[in-house]
Amino acid sequence: MKTDSPDRGSSLPLVEHFYTLQGEGYHTGKPAYFLRIGGCDVGCSWCDTRFAWNPDMHPLVKTSEIIKMVSEFDTDSVVVTGGEPLMWDLTALTAGLREKGYKTFLETSGAYPLTGMWDWICLSPKTNVPPVGDICKKAGELKIIIQTENDFRWAEEYKEKVSPGCILYLQPEWSRFDSVIGMIVDYCLKNIEWSVSLQSHKYMKIP
């Protein structure tokens, strides 16, 4: 976790914020306010948010101001994503959001210790920087990005680490969609505990 922020989580490097429909996983199609927090050292080769990797490129914004931004929209859910948001202490942010009645959703690789209070955690572990702590048992959904056939073995490894009620998703890496979607469909047909997650927001051309 980052500890060099001057106020340890009462301000966060805010890359962007927007109101949209959730595009992936269990809550696909539902409206939510998104907060993208800067900073990530996981370094996925296929990452589509590289602009968020360096937190120093984005202004520190007080959590009270972030919550005020959210309150201007008619939503009941806030998704905190990145980058890797758990590089920062998210306790103050989630406490303030929940005090206002918002449900809090987290999208994370789990590479840093879990902070904050969450109604839903989407865990998408990466092979180069695996999850730490007990986040696997707290995840509501497990989302494995499939880039090559080897990723199915990674998926099965993490299926054994999450809780029995965790929803299991296989999601094609966007740039390799045509080459992997057939494998994913076949895999889900043969392993019925898994479902396909698609990046529907990219088809709808929304954030």
- Helices 63-71 and 91-99 cross at an angle (nearest 10°) of 30
In sequence order, what are the residues at sequence separation of 6 or more whose Cβ sits closer than 8 angstroms to the Cβ of residue 42?
84, 109, 111, 126, 128, 129
- What are 189's two structure tokens? 């047909």
| Residues 46, 180 contacting (CB under 8 angstroms) | no
Rg over CA atoms, the chain: 17
In sequence order, what are the residues at sequence separation of 6 or more whose Cβ sits closer than 8 angstroms to the Cβ of residue 152?
146, 170, 183, 187
Identify which has the larger pLDDT, 52 or 152. 152
Phi and psi for 172 in degrees, rounded to 5?
-65, 135
Q: Residue 7: its pLDDT value, please?
A: 54
Q: Residue 3: its pLDDT value, please?
A: 42
Summarize the confidence of residues 85-90 as an average pLDDT. 96
| Cα–Cα separations (whole angstroms), residue 61 to 35, 54, 73, 79, 201 | 12, 15, 18, 17, 27
CATH fold, domain 11-204, is TIM Barrel (3.20.20)
In sequence order, what are the residues at sequence separation of 6 or more whose Cβ sits closer than 8 angstroms to the Cβ of residue 134?
114
Rounded-to-integer distance, Cα 119 and Cα 105, Å: 6
Summarize the confidence of residues 121-147 as an average pLDDT. 96
Percent of the chain at pLDDT exceeding 70: 96
DSSP-based three-state secondary structure for 63: helix
Ranking 5-14, 101-110, 145-154 by mean pLDDT, the lowest is 5-14
Q: Residue 2: its pLDDT value, please?
A: 53
Ranking 47-61, 121-135, 136-150, 172-186 by mean pLDDT, the lowest is 47-61
